[in-house]
Structure 1
Amino acid sequence: MLTANMTSPARPAKRDALRWLLPAAILLAMLIGGSSRADVLPLLILRPLSALLLVFGVYCYGGAAWRQSPALMALALGVVLLAVAHVVPLPPVLWSMLPGRDVIVQTYEVAAMPLPWLSLSMSPAGAWNALFSLMLPLAVLILALAAKPDDRVRALKWVMVIALISGFIGLLQILGPPRGPLYFYKVTNAGAAVGFFANRNHQAVLMASLFPLLATYAALADNSRGRLQLHRAIAIAAAAFIAPMILVTGSRNGLVLGAVGLVLAVWVYGKGTEKPAVKSATMRWRQWSPIAVVAALVGLSLLTIVASRGVAFQRLVDLDASQDLRLKALPTVVRIVGDTFPWGSGMGSFDEVYRHYEPGQLLSPNYFNHAHNDWLEVVMTGGLPAIFLALVAIVYFLLVLVAVLKQKERGSSHRRRLISARCAIVILLLLAIGSIAEYPARTPSLAVLGVLCAAILTGVRKVDMGDSSRDRRAASNRDHDSGEILV
């Protein structure tokens, strides 16, 4: 699964086109894909372009993407097929026997209407929206797999730039009016630092992802022109800006993710460049500098809290679990899972199905559009097939994680890909943790970030095997030249 061949992912001419096509697709998603709703205006632009990009990607790069990572492409195909299965009309004799469909059958019986052909999903419109939402992530996955490894790493820099701009816009949002022109979505957290997003929790996930992105930028800075220290200073300054920005978003989820991202950024940064046998005072400082930076950023965050600007921290302290709608709705969601298992209620059906089950005491002006636990919502809507696909993805991630943990930094090319792989692992981990209390991967921008990170991880094991083979060949040549006999 992790040992695809070492051939070039795509032909040179087509691969060169990916140098601008892949960043363009990522910019498209990051700039106008900040909402998970199906009725936002940017989808009028995003969905048609996503369809064109997907058709073009499959036609020109589908084969190269499959050769690069059959396992990842098969997993993506499985997700698409599951979504397709939820929109295919079924005869009444089939769908009426599915668990949880009694209310639909009773509705037609009360109306004295014959049972029609219906899809597996209890919300056909929601199922179609879920299927269409897969177009852009799938297109970016194909383009990223077909691209050169360095182009995938370069795409992370574009994500970093857009994320920093989003953080700066968030700063302007909290300084301006709650319904000012810098809020790009009608349904949003007015008065909060949401950046390019509609939800402050999703903005906080992107801000937390900036820590490993900045660590990658600093670790892989090009020192050929003596700009290494400048790049590292820029990374530290950007991190100092992001740390308090996570706090002022007012996202409790972001507070936890920010701490995780900040700590794991030290692992992403690695050991730095090769060090001489005798360490000078400067070299010892460089060894401890990542930890010193983390300590300084933690101190800055504490200063923000003391200055009464840590909205997320204050919301965490003031949290009353009995009054938190998400926790109070959890038993209802678990009940739906039991009633609709093993096939689930259908892709995109959470809103309509939950409203049928919603207890009267939980009725409020607040709009509960998702379970705010995406892992549980995947089980509820996708059933046993979705659980299987999720387990396959988790196993794939763990195998790659073990492979990355076993590798050491050696050689500039290998070190570059290893550090970018660490960054991708941390970002995927942040998305996974964030999905426990939110649904970040349902926004097009963060979904695209996730598949980009998955594509980056496909080359790690192959690079290590290629380097090991070259090392063995070099050792064999040395032994042959010296006249030694290998037993």
Structure 2
Amino acid sequence: MWTDDRRFRTRSTAHSKEIRRKSWQSLSVGFWATACVLVLSIILGGGTRQGFSGDYILQLVSLPLLLASIIQLWSIRSSADIKTALLVVTAIAAVPLIQLIPLPPFVWTALPGREAFSRTFEIAGIPTPWHPISLGPSTTLQSALSLIPPLALFLGTLLLGMAERRVLSLVLLGLGVAGVVLGLLQVAFGSTTPLRFFAFTNKEVAVAFFANANHAAIFMASLIPVTGAWVVAKLARWRQDGAGVTAIPSLIGFIAIAILLFLAQGLMQSRAAIVLATFAALACSAMLFPHFRSSLARHGYIFAIVALVASAGFLIYRILPSIEPEEIDATRYEVAKQTLDIAWKFAPFGAGTGTFVPIYQMYESTQLNSLGPEYINRAHNDLAELLLESGAFGLVVLIGLVFWWVRKGIQAWSRKLREREEIDYLLPRAASIMIAVPLMHSLVDYPLRTGGMAAVLAVALGLLITQPSLSSRANRKEAGRAETRLDR
């Protein structure tokens, strides 16, 4: 009897390995292209400035995925979600492209904020030429090209099957773990290690794949919801299997990844990221709470929440004693305030995407020299910088994007979980939290100005939408069979 059971387990294990091997072989070309662009975006897209050689390589690699995705989505555009996705892509791309359209002299010189520029031609005795809305066409063109990778990732993720979305989420977690390991090595080998990929970077703390430690920390915080979704899914599978031991190793593994991503905040030493990582973990608890039915489990859950908040407080007030928040916050407040004042001078058309530095330097207050660094490369408030550069065009697109995110998030949290398919319903919920993390951080920093964080946001937006090819019942059944094979 014992021998027969052992033989059965051996055959079952071999069968599961064969199923996993075939599942990996069944991944589409679109998945591999999307995963490749995602990995390159994280590795090459950590800079805070445009014009690096890695940016151009990433844009070139992403272009085929973008074009192929648009063609495929256009053929199935009958879906309301597909129409909305194509509208989102068009609107985002249109903002910098409209600012590059040449306008006759009597038009662009009449736009707000152009008086000093038009007067330059008069003083030089040069006939006023045609000119676009953007006062820095070359930087606006660079900004437009920088949209290629995230737009390709958004559309590429949207076209993936449910099983492929699962694997892509695991790729994200793998990048997060690799970033933590890289950060540990950066701290261990000091400020001069070649493991720091950028010349202008935070030398004393971990930065992972990024130039700025704040952005590295937000990257880790954004992945906590994905880990939470997998923890809840594995917990549900464990309960369905009668508390068997088969789901325990993966469950423990995902819990360990979640703890690792949270504790990594101490390596990057970002106050805002610690707060947002705590928010992400607390938001994930909404997915976890229904699975605790006994009073003991619920009390343990509450204890874990209290421990999480206490850990966040410890990281902020004990691990970061060298930071002088009053000085930093004063500088950022003054820069953001002055950016909004400048934005009104160019409203409603904006000065041009990517033109913040030269435009800000024209109006920069000398009072800031006593508050912080003399060179300001960003507004440290992306809403203020968006208003300055893109004007009403960018604001309308942002409002529409936020409205769409809230609506899709409500739909994701309203769907009832299906047994054995929990992860496919939990990933959109996790995506809604992932999107919130960098958006909130953008009010005090500029994470989405990096290609890496823009890629994370793009994947999250793609995961938020139901796979378009699953609109028919037959397709859903076929996808369910494939996902069951992969999950085994």
Q: TM-score, normalising length from structure 2?
A: 0.83
The 1-side partners of 2:86 and 2:400 are apart by 12
Tell me if 1:212 matches 2:225. yes
- Report deviation, 1:205: 0.8
Percent identical: 23
Give the SS at the match of 1:368: coil
Equivalent runs, 1:129-208 vs 2, <5 Å: 129-208=142-221
Tell me if 1:113 matches 2:126. yes
Match of 2:392 in 1: 384
Contact 1:127 1:346 (8 Å CA) reproduced: yes
Give the SS at the match of 2:198: coil
Paired residue for 1:71, among 84, 87, 91? 84
Contact 1:213 1:423 (8 Å CA) reproduced: yes
Relative to structure 1, the CA distance from residue 235 to residue 284 in structure 2 (aligned partners, 3 Å threshold; closer, same or farther) is farther
Paired residue for 2:402, among 388, 394, 403? 394
Paired residue for 2:382, among 374, 383, 391? 374
- Report deviation, 1:61: 5.0
Tell me if 1:38 matches 2:50. yes
CA deviation profile, 1:96-130 (whole Å, cap 9, x unmatched):
11101111112222222221121111111110011
Match of 1:326 in 2: 332
Tell me if 1:448 matches 2:461. no
Contact 2:278 2:308 (8 Å CA) reproduced: no
Contact 1:15 1:146 (8 Å CA) reproduced: no
Equivalent runs, 1:212-291 vs 2, <5 Å: 212-221=225-234, 226-269=245-288, 271-272=290-291, 290-291=301-302
CA deviation profile, 1:218-262 (whole Å, cap 9, x unmatched):
122365794322222222222333333213312122122112112
CA deviation profile, 1:13-55 (whole Å, cap 9, x unmatched):
9982223222122111112111231132322421221233323
- Report deviation, 1:200: 1.0
Give the SS at the match of 1:69: helix
Match of 1:10 in 2: none
The 2-side partners of 1:146 and 1:69 are apart by 10
The 2-side partners of 1:284 and 1:23 are apart by 42
Contact 1:345 1:380 (8 Å CA) reproduced: yes
Give the SS at the match of 1:412: coil
The 2-side partners of 1:82 and 1:14 are apart by 38
The 1-side partners of 2:423 and 2:385 are apart by 37
The 1-side partners of 2:433 and 2:77 are apart by 23
Give the SS at the match of 1:329: helix
Match of 1:430 in 2: 437
Match of 1:345 in 2: 351
Contact 1:243 1:300 (8 Å CA) reproduced: no
Relative to structure 1, the CA distance from residue 288 to residue 367 in structure 2 (aligned partners, 3 Å threshold; closer, same or farther) is farther
Contact 1:25 1:140 (8 Å CA) reproduced: yes
The 2-side partners of 1:297 and 1:351 are apart by 39
Match of 1:479 in 2: none
Structure 2, unaligned runs of 5 or more: 1-24, 478-488
Give the SS at the match of 2:379: coil
Paired residue for 2:424, among 406, 417, 421? 417
Contact 1:244 1:301 (8 Å CA) reproduced: no
Cα RMSD (Å) of the superposition?
3.0
Relative to structure 1, the CA distance from residue 257 to residue 465 in structure 2 (aligned partners, 3 Å threshold; closer, same or farther) is farther
- Report deviation, 1:300: 4.5
CA deviation profile, 1:294-333 (whole Å, cap 9, x unmatched):
4444454555567x4x22x763xx4225873211222211
Relative to structure 1, the CA distance from residue 251 to residue 116 in structure 2 (aligned partners, 3 Å threshold; closer, same or farther) is same
The 1-side partners of 2:78 and 2:254 are apart by 35
The 1-side partners of 2:119 and 2:178 are apart by 52
Contact 1:90 1:119 (8 Å CA) reproduced: yes
- Report deviation, 1:462: 11
Contact 1:170 1:195 (8 Å CA) reproduced: yes
The 1-side partners of 2:32 and 2:96 are apart by 30
Paired residue for 1:92, among 105, 114, 117? 105
CA deviation profile, 1:393-432 (whole Å, cap 9, x unmatched):
121122122223333323332x322211110010001011
Q: Which amino acid is the alignment partner of residue 271 of structure 1?
A: P
Tell me if 1:83 matches 2:96. yes
- Report deviation, 1:388: 1.3
The 2-side partners of 1:122 and 1:73 are apart by 29
The 2-side partners of 1:147 and 1:396 are apart by 20
The 2-side partners of 1:299 and 1:387 are apart by 37
- Report deviation, 1:197: 0.5
The 2-side partners of 1:14 and 1:55 are apart by 23
The 2-side partners of 1:303 and 1:96 are apart by 55
The 2-side partners of 1:176 and 1:15 are apart by 39
Q: Which amino acid is the alignment partner of residue 353 of structure 2?
A: M
Match of 1:474 in 2: none
The 2-side partners of 1:234 and 1:186 are apart by 35
Give the SS at the match of 2:400: helix
Q: TM-score, normalising length from structure 1?
A: 0.83
Q: How many residues align?
A: 443
Moved more, 424-433 or 114-123: 114-123
The 2-side partners of 1:57 and 1:154 are apart by 19
CA deviation profile, 1:261-286 (whole Å, cap 9, x unmatched):
121121244534xx8xxx6xxx6555
Relative to structure 1, the CA distance from residue 303 to residue 141 in structure 2 (aligned partners, 3 Å threshold; closer, same or farther) is closer
Match of 1:50 in 2: 62
Relative to structure 1, the CA distance from residue 299 to residue 336 in structure 2 (aligned partners, 3 Å threshold; closer, same or farther) is closer
Relative to structure 1, the CA distance from residue 122 to residue 33 in structure 2 (aligned partners, 3 Å threshold; closer, same or farther) is same
Structure 1, unaligned runs of 5 or more: 1-12, 471-487
Paired residue for 1:24, among 13, 36, 39? 36
Contact 1:270 1:419 (8 Å CA) reproduced: no
